[in-house]
């Protein structure tokens, strides 16, 4: 069994969006430390895959395609290993664990909501923007609603302070 380094480098760099320089330097370091053998190369590529998957799990936007995207990455790597007749039981076990520990995703306030720009200088644009804001508030997550409520409270506090200062200054200068 001869493992194609270019195949796995291409797979890890293009499909999994790995860093070319870091992958190359780590590969050279591992080969220098442990020698050049097919088992070492297999372990290296599996470790690189796990590292990239951990990065994707934390940095990929958690929307409705999140789980399908990550499962697809697992399947691509498993298929590549199976083409070379390499044991994939450990990665398949990780995939099954990932599927069973599937935590429901609550969409972030920005990805779940409609964000279309309307012209505020027209009656139609103001009406559509107002409707959109109401729809976003109704369909938003509790965090989004809390954030919007906090903005409203602070705006009211600033407005009240401004009115108080205005009347205080008016009473001082109108005497």
What pLDDT sits at residue 108? 46
What pLDDT sits at residue 2? 66
pTM above 0.75, yes or no: no
The residue count of the chain comes to 175
What pLDDT sits at residue 163? 97
What pLDDT sits at residue 1? 56
pLDDT in tens, the chain (175 residues): 567 777 778 878 887 788 888 888 888 888 888 888 888 888 888 888 888 888 888 888 777 788 888 889 899 989 888 888 888 899 899 888 888 876 655 444 445 567 888 899 999 999 999 999 898 888 888 888 999 999 999 999 999 999 999 999 999 988 6
H-type alpha helices, 35-173: 38-59, 66-83, 89-100, 123-139, 142-173
**Using CA atoms, how far apart are residues 43 and 167, in angstroms rounded to an integer?**
74
What pLDDT sits at residue 128? 93
Sequence-distant contacts of 59-67: CB under 8 A, at least 24 apart: 61/108, 61/111, 62/105, 62/107, 62/108, 63/105, 63/107, 63/108, 63/111, 64/105, 64/107, 66/105, 67/102, 67/105
């Amino acid at each position: 069994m001869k493992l194609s380094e270019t195949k796995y480098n291409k797979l890890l760099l293009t499909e999994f969006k790995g860093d070319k320089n870091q992958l190359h330097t780590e590969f050279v370091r591992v080969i220098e430390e442990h020698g050049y053998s097919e088992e070492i190369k297999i372990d290296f590529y599996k470790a690189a895959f796990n590292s990239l998957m951990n990065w994707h799990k934390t940095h990929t936007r958690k929307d409705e395609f999140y789980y399908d995207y990550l499962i697809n990455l697992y399947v691509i790597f498993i298929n590549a290993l199976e083409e070379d007749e390499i044991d994939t039981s450990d990665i398949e076990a990780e995939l099954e664990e990932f599927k069973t520990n599937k935590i429901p995703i609550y969409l972030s306030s920005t990805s779940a909501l409609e964000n279309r720009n309307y012209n505020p200088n027209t009656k139609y644009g103001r009406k559509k923007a107002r409707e959109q804001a109401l729809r976003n508030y109704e369909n938003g997550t509790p965090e989004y609603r809390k954030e919007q409520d906090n903005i409203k409270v602070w705006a009211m506090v600033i407005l009240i302070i401004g009115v108080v200062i205005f009347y205080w200054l008016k009473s001082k200068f109108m005497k």
